[in-house]
Amino acid sequence: MDNYSGSGFASKNYYGSGFFQMRIKLFENNSSGVVTAYYLTSKGDTHDEVDFEFLGNIKGKPVTLQTNVYTEGVGYKEQRFSLWFDPTSDFHTYGILWNPYHIVLYVDNIPIRVFNNNTSKGVSYPSKPMQVVSSMWNGENWATDGGKTKINWAYAPFKAYFQGFSDRGCHLDELSNDAKACGSTMYWWNTMKYSELNTYEQKAYKNVREKYMNYDYCFDKARFPVPPNECRYN
């Protein structure tokens, strides 16, 4: 990314379920205001989306990992983490499991966020065909210190590095109405084994959230005096 444009790439395929992984190494110098993203997204105004967003920072200060989920075009479901490693010094693996039971976000195979499918309780759940996208863009109005710390263009061009994309997903036509056709247990990620975290994952999940999560929209009473409906079930 430079001061003329950002950049990105996307999968040619669209998916209705799957387990998607990418190895990413972030820009290692002053990256305040720069957002590097890896996510699933559908098309249209009422799009679904599942995000990893790395919020750049001044060199020596920690990079924040923000996660988000959009359903029916509505996001505002941010959870943020201070990672237990330096994501600029080496490649790390970021994964998204999406099946009929839940969406799980992984960092180096450790689950950090779970978004359960509670459509039976009136909670919307990503169900549209989504493609895998990575991008780098200018987020200086909000990404670092709430927008107070701007991009220092003397460090441009900003670069992120990607490798090892894993295409383990059910391919679906972009114009398909929904992803239900990809809910079959013929796909290993849809089997009951992956309907909930195993015992090891539950312990790791609890540990990460207790030690490294520094923001959860469900507990932001200034924004949500009444917690959003899905917060009761996730």
- Residues in CB range of 78: below 8 A, 6 or more apart: 66, 67, 68, 215, 217
Q: Of 49, 72, 174, 210, which is the active-site residue?
A: 49
> 151 to each of 25, 62, 102, 145, 209, how far by Cα in Å?
19, 16, 36, 12, 29
53 is catalytic: yes
49 is catalytic: yes
Sheet holding 14-25, edge to edge: 110-116, 102-107, 92-98, 14-25, 161-172
Hey, what are 51's tokens?
Answer: 């995000």
Hey, what are 166's tokens?
Answer: 């894993």
Check residue 224 and report its DSSP letter: -
Question: 88: which strand partners?
Answer: none
Single out the residue of 154, 105, 103 nearest to residue 124, CA to CA.
Answer: 103
Hey, what are 77's tokens?
Answer: 């479901």
Strands (E), 56-201: 64-70, 79-82, 92-98, 102-107, 110-116, 131-138, 161-172
Q: Of 53, 140, 201, 210, which is the active-site residue?
A: 53
| C-alpha dihedral sign at 64, 6, 109, 69 | positive
Check residue 112 and report its DSSP letter: E
Positions marked active-site:
49, 53
